[in-house]
Amino acid sequence: MRTIQFREAIAEAMSEEMRRDETIYLMGEEVAEYNGAYKASKGMLDEFGPERVIDTPISELGFAGIGVGSAMGGNRPIIEFMTFNFALVGIDQIISNAAKIRQMSGGQFNCPIVFRGPTGSAGQLGATHSQAFESWFANCPGLKVVVPSNPYDAKGLLKAAIRDDDPVIFMESEQMYGDKGETPDGEYIIPLGVAEVKREGKDVTIVSFGKIIKEAYKAAEELEKEGISCEIIDLRTVRPMDHDTILKSVKKTNRLVILEEAWPFGNVATEITYQVQSQAFDYLDAPIVKINTADTPAPYSPVLLEEWLPNYKDVIKAVKKVLYK
């Protein structure tokens, strides 16, 4: 095992797959000459050339559409958005074309394409650059949605996403690109749709994904000092969702807290809550608690932003609530 940054894990996954399959290419703003806005494609232009690592104008609708069309024609594009906030400009290509072309063509076309880039907040970037759209994309049949939380998972999941024959939304974070973690030297693949228990526990289950899961780890460390044992599940893939891993844990701990960086109305945590209460109601010893952002656009003020985002103190409070402490 060696220690690499999250951005290096992303670059390695793309490069390894591009060496394996010449139909794969990377397209997006600043991915080539600048080595990526977050240096997640560093060195790839030198290795693969401008025909496979392609800089674009600021035209998400255009290059998302080019990607969808070329995927239908037999390529396997990786389309990078500088942030998924900008994907809204091209969302018609994702929702109306990429997600639906297999069904609408009667199976004549598939669309093996990966749309990747950062999601959620990343400091004082204002309301329009701080949005989390995991639940939006996961709501659409035909799309798979992946949100890794560490370099190891990011590499293995991205390789699986690139090899998948359906469109995959692969969501990262500006605040994770510098995160370091251990990854193997050799090739490995993490299958989509499989959650992982990151921390074993017996008193309460905490489900989370993406960068916000760090707050769950902090809370678990603090709660352990008080004799409270938390089991933490990293979803890794939002859709398809691994219900079995969640249900197995809840049947053991009998309590569930869900931590998600998203607006509270109709989000991923809402879906998890429904699935657990419908399939494991008799195992619950307390109502499920979900922790989300405030129900407002993200503020620019650092003081307000701190209040807006969930943190480990919110997790501690929620855990104690389901434990009636």
Mean pLDDT of the chain, nearest integer:
97
- Calculate mean pLDDT across residues 162-171: 98
Residues 6 or more apart in contact with residue 49 via CB below 8 angstroms: none
pLDDT band at 113 (very low <50, low <70, confident <90, very high): very high
Cβ-based neighbours of 304, under 8 Å, separated by 6 or more: none
Instruction: Evaluate the CA torsion angle 268, 269, 273, 276 in order and state its sign.
Output: positive
Positions marked active-site: 60, 129
Q: Is residue 89 exposed (0-12), middle (13-18) or buried (19+ Cβ within 10 Å)?
A: middle
Convert the pLDDT of each residue in 42-74 to its tens digit.
999 999 999 999 999 999 999 999 999 999 999
Cα separation, 228 vs 220, in Å, equals 8
Q: 212, 310 in Cβ contact below 8 A?
A: yes
User: Is the link from the previous residue into 191 a cis peptide, with omega within 30 of 0?
Assistant: no
- Mean pLDDT within 27-40: 96
**Main-chain dihedrals φ then ψ at residue 212, nearest 5 degrees:** -70, -15
* Residues 266, 86, 97, 40, Cα dihedral to 10°: -110
- What mean pLDDT comes out for the span 222-235? 98
Closest CA to 116 of 230, 234, 196, 36: 36
pLDDT the model gives residue 181: 97
* Per-residue model confidence (pLDDT) at position 215: 98
Residue % of the chain over a pLDDT of 70? 100
Q: Which long-range contacts (CB under 8 A, 24 or more apart) does 103-110 make?
A: 103/142, 109/72, 110/71, 110/72, 110/165, 110/166
Structure token pair of residue 267:
């989000």
Residues in contact with 223: Cβ distance below 8 Å, sequence separation at least 6, in sequence order:
229, 230, 316, 319
In the predicted model, what is the mean pLDDT of residues 117-135?
95
Rounded distance, CA 171 to CA 147, Å? 5
Instruction: Output the pLDDT for position 97.
Output: 97
**pLDDT value of position 198:** 98
Per residue in 185-215, pLDDT tens?
Answer: 989 999 999 999 999 999 999 999 999 999 9
- Residue 34 confidence class, pLDDT cut points 50, 70, 90: very high
The span from the CA of 54 to the CA of 52, in Å, is 6
The answer to whether 288 touches 271, Cβ cutoff 8 Å, is no
pLDDT for 298: 97
